[in-house]
Amino acid sequence: MDNQTTNNTMQTGTETPVTAAMPQVDYAARKKKADMLCYISLGLYAASIVSAIATYVYSAFVNYETQNIIFKILSAFSSVAFEAAWVLVIVARAKFRENRFAKILLWVYIAMAITVAVILIAIIAYCVYTCSTCYMPG
């Protein structure tokens, strides 16, 4: 059984004869491309988080009003890297629908975004509750 027939079997579950008219699909190459997109996406996602944390940590030590160009570069990089990470995972998902890594990575990103949103809402609700019930004795 040649490689093309094997791929057809994997896709349909039944063995169909390969004719000359059928397009040649290189599944290994497609998987490699999709995985590469996902790895770059993961790298950019991690870089955006590191850059965002670095911006906050750095702002604690220096005067951001006099050195704000560094902050602008760091926060712009963080935003662009974050957006690029999402774009690449969507490209992988839309163009290589059979790829499981892209599917899992997209749902991991969505789960992380929901978790961060829930944590932020919980923190804000806690702060609002604490401020509304707090009183200064004496």
Partner 1 sequence: MLYAGVIPMKIYIPELAWSPYGLLVLTSVAIGFAVAIYLMRKAGVTKHTILYTCILTSVFTVTNSVMGNMLISNDPRALGFSGLGAVVGMILGVLVSGLIIKDKPESVMASFIATAPLMYGLAKTGCLFGGCCHGKDYEGPFAIVYSGANGGSYFPAQIIDMTVFIAMFAVNLILIRKMKNKIAAIYVILALLTVVRFLLEYLKYYHDGSLIASGQVSVLVAGAASIVLVTVWKFLLKVGKAPAAAGAQN
For the CB of residue 30, give the shortest distance to partner 1 in the complex, in Å.
16
| Inter-CA distances, 61 with 51, 70, 71, 76, 80, Å | 16, 13, 12, 20, 25
Q: Which of 30, 43, 71, 103 binds partner 1 (CB under 8 A)?
A: 71
**Look-up of token digits 């509304």:** 132
Concatenate the DSSP letters of all residues of 80-101 into one string.
Answer: HHHHHHHHHHHHHHHH-TT-HH
Site for partner 1 in 14-53 (CB under 8 A): none
For the CB of residue 43, give the shortest distance to partner 1 in the complex, in Å.
17
- Residue 59 near partner 1 by CB under 8 A: yes
Tell me, by CB under 8 A, how many residues bind partner 1: 28
Give the x-and-dash track for 82-101 against partner 1 (CB under 8 A): xx--xx--xx-xxx------
Q: How many CB atoms are located within 10 Å of the residue 45 CB?
A: 21
Burial of 105 (0-12, 13-18, 19+ CB in 10 A): buried
Please report, as ranges, the residues that interact with partner 1 according to CB under 8 A. 55-56, 59, 64-65, 68, 71-72, 74-76, 79, 82-83, 86-87, 90-91, 93-95, 106, 110, 113, 124, 128, 131-132
